[in-house]
Copies of this chain bind each other. A is one copy, B any other.
Amino acid sequence: MQIEIVKNVLAENENLAAEVRKRLRRKRQSLVNFMSAPGSGKTLLLEKLIPCLGALGLRVGVIEGDITTTNDAARIQPLGVPVAQINTEPFGGDCHLAANVILGALDLLEPHPLDAVLIENVGNLVCPAEFDTGADLNVVLWSVTEGEDKPLKYPLMFRTCRLLVVTKLDLLQPAGADLELMKANVRRIHPDIEIAVTSARTGEGLDALAARLADHHKKTVF
């Protein structure tokens, strides 16, 4: 019976994700879903990436997902882009964003003319990968301080994402991390995953990542 209900929840989510996609196509918008463990640097990456996307002519909106607090939305707002904050605490403290809350967030962003909407999912390497948000590109962030074994231990997340953004490259040496081993391990799980290596602090890799997302936008919308 539990399994039946989980199936129903996922099937219902698929329907709502399809609705998200229809709406995006109608409005000629792309939707990118950023996922990672807590503290991998999702918010800081968005803070630094959004101006790069703006410089490429993309009008960007953001959906911030957290169990509680509006801290992340408060960090994005000064960039002058519209933000919809979702708190899952009133809904049982959900550990992921599902398509129904994305639809609600798109309603909130409706008044703004946007090209690309970026989702910052709840910090969690497990559950968000199980719920289709309706995004046309799933991205996983993985910081060099988290250990080289993460794709092996959380394979669904790394299989679900077409693009891996390695973060905190400036900490590679202090953390004693092995970037080549990270790349080799993620390719054991997802051989043709694309990899962008970045440091939000030094700016390394951000222009290239913005160009990659702008390219994705064009291919999705036109």
Which residues of A line the B interface, CB within 8 A? 1-2, 5-6, 9, 37-39, 41, 66-69, 71, 92-93, 95, 122-127, 130, 143, 145-147, 149-150, 152-156, 168, 170-171, 174-176, 201
Q: How far is the CA of A126 from the CA of B123 in the complex (A)?
A: 9
Given the known A-B contacts A93-B126, A124-B124, A175-B171, are A153 and B68 also in contact in the complex, defined by CB atoms under 8 Å?
Answer: yes
- Sample (26) of A-B pairs whose CB atoms are under 8 Å apart: A1-B5, A5-B5, A37-B38, A38-B146, A38-B154, A39-B145, A39-B147, A67-B126, A67-B156, A68-B155, A95-B124, A95-B126, A122-B126, A123-B125, A123-B153, A123-B154, A124-B124, A124-B126, A143-B145, A145-B168, A145-B175, A170-B174, A171-B174, A171-B175, A174-B174, A176-B201
In angstroms, how far is the closest chain B Cβ from the Cβ of A154?
Answer: 6
- So how many copies of this chain end up in the complex? 2
In angstroms, how far is the closest chain B Cβ from the Cβ of A152?
Answer: 5
- B-chain residues with CB within 8 Å of residue A126 when the two chains form the complex: 67, 93, 95, 122, 124, 127
Q: Which residue of B lies closest to A173 (CB)?
A: B174
